[in-house]
């Protein structure tokens, strides 16, 4: 699919391609349909990575979310990429410089939660005759990597979100660790310090901890004015080999049109794995 260019290429599981397809599908529909309706369309990637990914246990290299978003037909007007790892950040910068030097791509090195003010500064402001609409992809490695306050601050702008909730690969595996009252990881991820009392009630009904975390996060987004139709509208990604639940991909928009695009993105994500031929 892509050739090794000598820069860092992190490995991802085969299941990662389903995530990439969903990013590709929604970003494409969003950018094309909003072209001409908004003066500025912005793509934001909070955990951008290196731009390339190698499928685990294979030699196959694919484009990761930043290059997927850069490769769509009707590109966004502005791209904002944030990455905490210096080596990944430098690899992404080199690839964008080589492949997309004419694109307005703004790279920020550092923790997205600590750099949220800088991210906001790099998103053009609405003004008379200049409307700005953004799409933000948040792909944290674990619950500890994302604070809900970051999402809350970004949501002060006109913005859709696609958020990976590490419900299986983190929440379910570490439930006893997170239930410790001295541990604030889930408090920070949900932006909610009262969740333990609610979990006790839900646990009695047989719901998994990971399922609960995803549902609770979605309800927190609803409190910010985003539509929430239930956890059934999220996409649960499972491991390829053992079919174990890994995470939920949850989409949020304040507009019905965004929900329509998400349904289409899910429908067309079931096609071939390769995004580029």
Convert the pLDDT of each residue in 77-100 to its tens digit.
999 999 999 999 999 999 999 999
Full-model pTM:
0.94
Residue 270 — very low, low, confident or very high, per pLDDT cuts 50/70/90?
Answer: low
Task: Give residue 14's pLDDT.
Answer: 87
What are the Cα distances from residue 195, in Å, to 1, 98, 179, 192, 236? 44, 46, 10, 6, 22
Pairing verdict, β 40-45 and 132-138: parallel
Task: Give residue 145's pLDDT.
Answer: 98
20-72 per-position pLDDT tens digit: 999 999 999 999 999 999 999 999 999 999 999 999 989 999 999 999 999 99
Question: Phi and psi (nearest 5°) for 112?
Answer: -55, -35
Helix axes of 195-203 and 209-222: crossing angle, nearest 10 degrees: 130
CB 151 within 8 A of CB 163: yes
Task: Give residue 274's pLDDT.
Answer: 37
Q: With a cut of 50, say whether residue 177 has pLDDT above it.
A: yes
Which residues partner with 238 through β-bridges?
Answer: 245
* Secondary structure string (H, E, C) spanning the chain: CECCCCCCCCEECCCHHHHHHHHHHHHHHHHHHHECCECEEEEEECCCCCCEEEECCCCCEEECHHHHHHCCCCCCCEEEEEECCHHHHHHHHHHHHHHCCCCCEEEEECCCCCCHHHHHHCCCCCECCECEEEEEEECCCCHHHCCHHHHHHHCCCCEEEEEEECHHHHHHCCHHHHHCCCCCHHHHHHCCCCHHHHHHHHHCCCCCHHHHHHHHHHHHHHCCCCCCCCHHHCEEEECCCCCCEEEEEEEECCCHHHHHHHHHHHHHCCCCCCCCC
CA distance 204 to 207: 8
The residue assigned the tokens 């702008």 is 157
CA distance 52 to 68: 10
Per cent of the chain over pLDDT 90 is 85
Q: Of 56, 76, 80, 53, nearest to 64 (Cα)? A: 53
Task: Supply 164's token pair.
Answer: 């990976």
Task: Give residue 240's pLDDT.
Answer: 72
Average pLDDT over every residue of 216-242? 89
| 122: number of Cβ within 10 Å | 19
What are the Cα distances from residue 184, in Å, to 51, 77, 180, 191, 217? 31, 38, 8, 10, 15
Phi-psi region of 58 (alpha: psi -120 to 50; beta: other; left: phi over 0): beta
Task: Supply 194's token pair.
Answer: 């009262």
Question: Phi and psi (nearest 5°) for 243?
Answer: 60, 35
Task: Supply 135's token pair.
Answer: 């799409």
Task: Give residue 206's pLDDT.
Answer: 87
134-166 per-position pLDDT tens digit: 999 999 999 999 999 999 999 999 999 999 999
Task: Give residue 273's pLDDT.
Answer: 36
């Amino acid at each position: 699919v892509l050739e090794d260019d000598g820069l860092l290429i992190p490995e991802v599981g085969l299941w990662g391609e389903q995530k990439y397809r969903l990013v590709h599908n929604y970003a494409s529909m969003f950018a094309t349909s909003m072209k001409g309706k908004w003066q500025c369309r912005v793509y934001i990637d909070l955990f951008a990575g290196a731009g390339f990914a190698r499928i685990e246990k294979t030699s196959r290299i694919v484009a990761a979310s930043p290059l997927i978003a850069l490769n769509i037909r009707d590109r966004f007007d502005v791209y904002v990429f944030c990455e905490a790892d210096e080596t990944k950040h430098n690899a992404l910068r080199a690839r964008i410089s080589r492949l997309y030097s004419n694109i307005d791509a703004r790279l920020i090195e550092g923790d997205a939660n600590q750099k949220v003010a800088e991210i906001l500064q790099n998103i053009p402001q609405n003004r008379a005759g200049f409307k700005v609409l953004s799409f933000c992809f948040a792909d944290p490695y674990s619950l500890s990597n994302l604070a809900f306050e970051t999402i809350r601050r970004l949501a002060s702008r006109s913005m859709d979100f696609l958020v990976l909730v590490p419900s299986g690969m983190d929440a379910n595996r570490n439930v006893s660790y997170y239930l410790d009252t001295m541990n604030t990881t889930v408090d920070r991820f949900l932006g909610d310090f009262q969740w333990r009392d609610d979990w006790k009630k839900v646990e009695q009904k047989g719901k998994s901890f990971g399922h609960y975390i995803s549902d609770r996060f979605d309800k927190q987004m609803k409190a910010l004015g985003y539509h929430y139709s239930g956890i059934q509208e999220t996409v649960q990604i499972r491991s390829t080999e053992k079919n174990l639940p890994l995470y939920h991909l949850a989409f949020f928009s304040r507009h019905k049109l965004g929900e329509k695009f998400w349904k289409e993105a899910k429908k067309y994500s079931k096609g071939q794995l390769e995004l580029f031929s």
